[in-house]
Amino acid sequence: MSTTQRPTPETDAFVRDYDFQPTPTDCLRLASRFEHERDEAREENEAMREAIKDIYYLTEGCADGAPDASAHDKLCNEIADKLKLFQP
């Protein structure tokens, strides 16, 4: 997980708009929205990881790495090599 600080314009605007005095209801509404967005992002991430696994398994066995491999086989090997890090 990245520790790089990213801009938080929505949170900054929330704090600025409420002059550091948001009501508990406002905070709960914001937290709920962020939680829903996080859960949607997790589901999308999981779907992408599954697609990557499928692509890996479809390309991994295409070529033996021989110097005379076809361009398609070489491409399959390149794709599989890049996707290895997503394998369990």
User: Rounded to the nearest 10 degrees, how much is the dihedral formed by the CA atoms of 56, 61, 65, 71?
Assistant: -70
Boundaries of domain holding 27:
9-86
Question: Does residue 1 belong to any structural domain of this protein?
Answer: no
Residue 70 lies in a domain: yes
SS3 percent helix, strand, coil of the chain, rounded to 5, is 70, 0, 30
Whether 4 is covered by a domain: the verdict is no
The neighbour count for residue 16, using CB atoms within 10 Å, is 9
Average pLDDT over every residue of 59-78: 74
How many folded domains does the chain comprise? 1
Mean pLDDT, to the nearest integer, of 7-25? Answer: 79
Structure tokens at 49: 């990881």
**pTM metric for this prediction:** 0.59
Indicate whether 51 pLDDT > 60: yes
